[in-house]
Chains A and B, each alone.
Chain A
Amino acid sequence: MDKLGVFLCTGCGIGDALAVDEVIGAATEKGCAATLTHGCLCAPEGLAAIRGAVSEHGLNGILLAACSDRAKTREFAPLSSEVPAVFRTAIREHCTWSHPADGEGQTAEDTTMLAQDLVRMGLARLNGMKQIVPLHEEIADTVLVVGSGRAGLEAALTAARLGKPVLLVEEASELGGQLAHQVSIPPEEPPYDAPIPNPVPGLIAEVKADDRIRVYTDTTIAKITGQPGQFKLTLSGPEAAEMTIGAIVQATGAKPYDAKNLGHLGYGTSADIVTSQDFEAMLSAGAIVRPSDGKKPHRIAFIQCAGSRDDNHLRYCSSECCVNTLRQVAEVKKLEPSIESAVIYRDIRAPGHMEHFFVGVQKTAEMMMTRGDVDKIEANGKLSIHLSNSLLGDRVQIQADLVVLAVGMVPQSADGELIRELIDSRHQAEHSESSQVRATSAKRADELKHHDGTEILHLGYRQGPDLPTLKYGFPDSHFICFPYETRRTGIYAAGTVHAPMDSAQAAEDGLGAAMKAVQCIEMAKRGEAVHPRAGDTAYPDFFLQRCTQCKRCTEECPFGTLNEDKKGTPEFNPLRCRRCGICMGACPERIISFQDYSVHMVAEMIKSMSIPEDYEEKPRILALMCENDAVPALEAAAANGATWNPWTRIIPIRCLGSTNIVWIAEALSAGVDGVILVGCKYGDDYQCHYVRGSELANTRLGNVGETLQRLALEPERIKVVELSHDEFDRVPRVLDEFSAELEAMGPNPLKGF
Chain B
Amino acid sequence: MASIPIVESTDLRAEFFERGGENAAKCYQCATCSSVCELAPADAPFPRRQILLAQWGLFDQLMGDPAVWLCHQCNDCSVRCPRDVAPGDIMASLRAMVVEKLAFPGALGSLVGNVRKTWPLLVLGPILFWAALIGITTGFGEVETHHGLQPGPTMGQYFYDALVPHSLIYAVNFAAVGFVCLVLLVSGSRFWKMMGDRQTRRGSFVGSLIGVVTDIALHRKFASCERGVPSRRWGHFMVMWGFVGAAVASGFAVVFLYADTPPFSWFFALPFFEDIGYPVPITHWNKWLANISAVLLVVGGIMLFANRLKKGDKLVGQTTAFDRFFLWLVLSVIATGVLTEFSRYLVADPSVGFAVYVIHLGVVLSLFLTLPYSKFAHIFYRSLAMVHQRMTST
* Interfacial residues, chain A to chain B (CB-CB below 8 A): 298, 340, 342, 348, 358-359, 362-363, 365-371, 375, 384, 386-388, 391-393, 395-399
B55 within 8 A of A: yes
Asked if B55 contacts A369 (CB within 8 A), the reply is: yes
**CB under 8 Å from chain A, chain B span 1-47:** 1-6, 8, 10, 17, 22, 25-29
Asked if A391 contacts B29 (CB within 8 A), the reply is: yes
Roughly how many angstroms separate A415 CA and B83 CA in the complex, as a whole number? 44
Roughly how many angstroms separate A342 CA and B25 CA in the complex, as a whole number? 11
B52 within 8 A of A: yes
Select which of A363, A367, A369, A396 is within 8 A of B6 by beta carbon. Answer: A396
Asked if B28 contacts A358 (CB within 8 A), the reply is: yes
Asked if B8 contacts A398 (CB within 8 A), the reply is: yes
B173 to chain A, nearest CB (A): 45
B58 within 8 A of A: yes
Asked if B55 contacts A396 (CB within 8 A), the reply is: no
Select which of B1, B5, B25 is within 8 A of A362 by beta carbon. Answer: B25
Roughly how many angstroms separate A366 CA and B54 CA in the complex, as a whole number? 12
Asked if B25 contacts A365 (CB within 8 A), the reply is: yes
Asked if B17 contacts A366 (CB within 8 A), the reply is: yes
Asked if A395 contacts B28 (CB within 8 A), the reply is: no
Roughly how many angstroms separate A534 CA and B1 CA in the complex, as a whole number? 63
Known contacts A397-B5, A398-B8; is-contact A359 B52 (Cβ 8 Å): no
Known contacts A392-B58, A396-B6; is-contact A369 B1 (Cβ 8 Å): no
Our count of residue pairs bridging A and B at CB distance below 8 angstroms stands at 63
A367 to chain B, nearest CB (A): 6
Asked if B56 contacts A396 (CB within 8 A), the reply is: no
Roughly how many angstroms separate A397 CA and B5 CA in the complex, as a whole number? 4
Q: A366-B25, A392-B58, A396-B6 are in contact. List 11 more A-B contacts (CB 8 A).
A: A359-B83, A362-B28, A368-B55, A369-B55, A370-B56, A371-B29, A384-B5, A391-B52, A392-B52, A392-B56, A399-B5
Asked if A366 contacts B22 (CB within 8 A), the reply is: yes
30 residue pairs bridging A and B, Cβ less than 8 Å apart: A348-B28, A358-B28, A359-B26, A362-B25, A362-B28, A363-B26, A366-B22, A366-B25, A368-B55, A369-B27, A369-B28, A369-B55, A370-B52, A370-B56, A387-B3, A391-B52, A392-B6, A392-B52, A392-B56, A393-B4, A393-B6, A395-B1, A395-B2, A395-B4, A396-B4, A396-B6, A397-B5, A397-B6, A398-B56, A399-B8
Identify the interface centre among B2, B10, B22, B29: most chain A CB within 10 Å of its CB: B29
Roughly how many angstroms separate A391 CA and B27 CA in the complex, as a whole number? 13
A378 to chain B, nearest CB (A): 10
Roughly how many angstroms separate A395 CA and B3 CA in the complex, as a whole number? 5
**CB under 8 Å from chain A, chain B span 69-125:** 83
Residues of chain A lying within 8 A (CB to CB) of residue B55: 368-369
Residues of chain B lying within 8 A (CB to CB) of residue A384: 5
A383 to chain B, nearest CB (A): 12
Asked if A368 contacts B28 (CB within 8 A), the reply is: no
B282 to chain A, nearest CB (A): 57
Residues of chain A lying within 8 A (CB to CB) of residue B3: 375, 386-388, 395-397
Asked if A398 contacts B29 (CB within 8 A), the reply is: no
Interface size for chain B: under 10, 10 to 19, 20 to 34, or 35 or more residues? Answer: 20 to 34
Chain B residue nearest to A375 (CB atoms) is B3
Roughly how many angstroms separate A399 CA and B25 CA in the complex, as a whole number? 18
A223 to chain B, nearest CB (A): 52
Chain A residue nearest to B55 (CB atoms) is A368
Roughly how many angstroms separate A367 CA and B27 CA in the complex, as a whole number? 10
Roughly how many angstroms separate A396 CA and B25 CA in the complex, as a whole number? 20
Residues of chain B lying within 8 A (CB to CB) of residue A359: 26, 83
Asked if A398 contacts B52 (CB within 8 A), the reply is: no
**CB under 8 Å from chain A, chain B span 104-157:** none
9 cross-chain pairs, A with B, having the tightest CB-CB distances, nearest first: A395-B3, A366-B25, A397-B5, A362-B26, A386-B3, A396-B6, A368-B56, A397-B3, A368-B55
Chain A residue nearest to B1 (CB atoms) is A395
Chain B residue nearest to A299 (CB atoms) is B10
Roughly how many angstroms separate A375 CA and B10 CA in the complex, as a whole number? 24
Residues of chain A lying within 8 A (CB to CB) of residue B27: 362, 369
Asked if A367 contacts B5 (CB within 8 A), the reply is: no
Roughly how many angstroms separate A423 CA and B274 CA in the complex, as a whole number? 116
**CB under 8 Å from chain A, chain B span 158-186:** none
Roughly how many angstroms separate A209 CA and B76 CA in the complex, as a whole number? 58
Chain A residue nearest to B85 (CB atoms) is A362
Roughly how many angstroms separate A569 CA and B107 CA in the complex, as a whole number? 95
Roughly how many angstroms separate A345 CA and B178 CA in the complex, as a whole number? 52
Residues of chain B lying within 8 A (CB to CB) of residue A358: 28
B12 to chain A, nearest CB (A): 13
Residues of chain A lying within 8 A (CB to CB) of residue B25: 362-363, 365-368
Roughly how many angstroms separate A7 CA and B162 CA in the complex, as a whole number? 120
Residues of chain A lying within 8 A (CB to CB) of residue B29: 369-371, 391
Chain B residue nearest to A388 (CB atoms) is B3
Roughly how many angstroms separate A314 CA and B52 CA in the complex, as a whole number? 30
Roughly how many angstroms separate A340 CA and B28 CA in the complex, as a whole number? 17
Residues of chain B lying within 8 A (CB to CB) of residue A340: 10
B357 to chain A, nearest CB (A): 49
B81 to chain A, nearest CB (A): 12
Roughly how many angstroms separate A395 CA and B8 CA in the complex, as a whole number? 15
Roughly how many angstroms separate A384 CA and B5 CA in the complex, as a whole number? 9
Residues of chain B lying within 8 A (CB to CB) of residue A365: 25
A302 to chain B, nearest CB (A): 14
Chain A residue nearest to B52 (CB atoms) is A391
Roughly how many angstroms separate A395 CA and B25 CA in the complex, as a whole number? 23
Residues of chain B lying within 8 A (CB to CB) of residue A388: 3
Roughly how many angstroms separate A368 CA and B16 CA in the complex, as a whole number? 14
B59 to chain A, nearest CB (A): 13
Residues of chain B lying within 8 A (CB to CB) of residue A392: 6, 52-53, 56, 58
Known contacts A368-B25, A396-B6; is-contact A362 B58 (Cβ 8 Å): no
A396 to chain B, nearest CB (A): 5
Chain A residue nearest to B26 (CB atoms) is A362
Residues of chain A lying within 8 A (CB to CB) of residue B8: 398-399
A540 to chain B, nearest CB (A): 56
A499 to chain B, nearest CB (A): 26
Residues of chain B lying within 8 A (CB to CB) of residue A393: 4, 6
Asked if A396 contacts B5 (CB within 8 A), the reply is: yes
Roughly how many angstroms separate A700 CA and B142 CA in the complex, as a whole number? 118
Roughly how many angstroms separate A397 CA and B17 CA in the complex, as a whole number? 23
Residues of chain A lying within 8 A (CB to CB) of residue B1: 395
Residues of chain B lying within 8 A (CB to CB) of residue A387: 3
Roughly how many angstroms separate A441 CA and B10 CA in the complex, as a whole number? 63
B87 to chain A, nearest CB (A): 14
Identify the interface centre among A340, A342, A348, A387: most chain B CB within 10 Å of its CB: A340
Residues of chain A lying within 8 A (CB to CB) of residue B26: 359, 362-363
Chain A residue nearest to B29 (CB atoms) is A391
Identify the interface centre among A375, A392, A397: most chain B CB within 10 Å of its CB: A392
Chain B residue nearest to A385 (CB atoms) is B3
Chain B residue nearest to A298 (CB atoms) is B10
Residues of chain B lying within 8 A (CB to CB) of residue A362: 25-28, 83
Roughly how many angstroms separate A388 CA and B2 CA in the complex, as a whole number? 10
A350 to chain B, nearest CB (A): 9
Chain A residue nearest to B3 (CB atoms) is A395
Residues of chain B lying within 8 A (CB to CB) of residue A399: 5, 8
Chain A residue nearest to B48 (CB atoms) is A391
Roughly how many angstroms separate A388 CA and B53 CA in the complex, as a whole number? 16
Roughly how many angstroms separate A371 CA and B27 CA in the complex, as a whole number? 12
Residues of chain A lying within 8 A (CB to CB) of residue B2: 395
Residues of chain A lying within 8 A (CB to CB) of residue B28: 348, 358, 362, 369
Roughly how many angstroms separate A387 CA and B56 CA in the complex, as a whole number? 14
Residues of chain A lying within 8 A (CB to CB) of residue B57: 368
Roughly how many angstroms separate A391 CA and B28 CA in the complex, as a whole number? 11
Residues of chain A lying within 8 A (CB to CB) of residue B5: 384, 396-397, 399
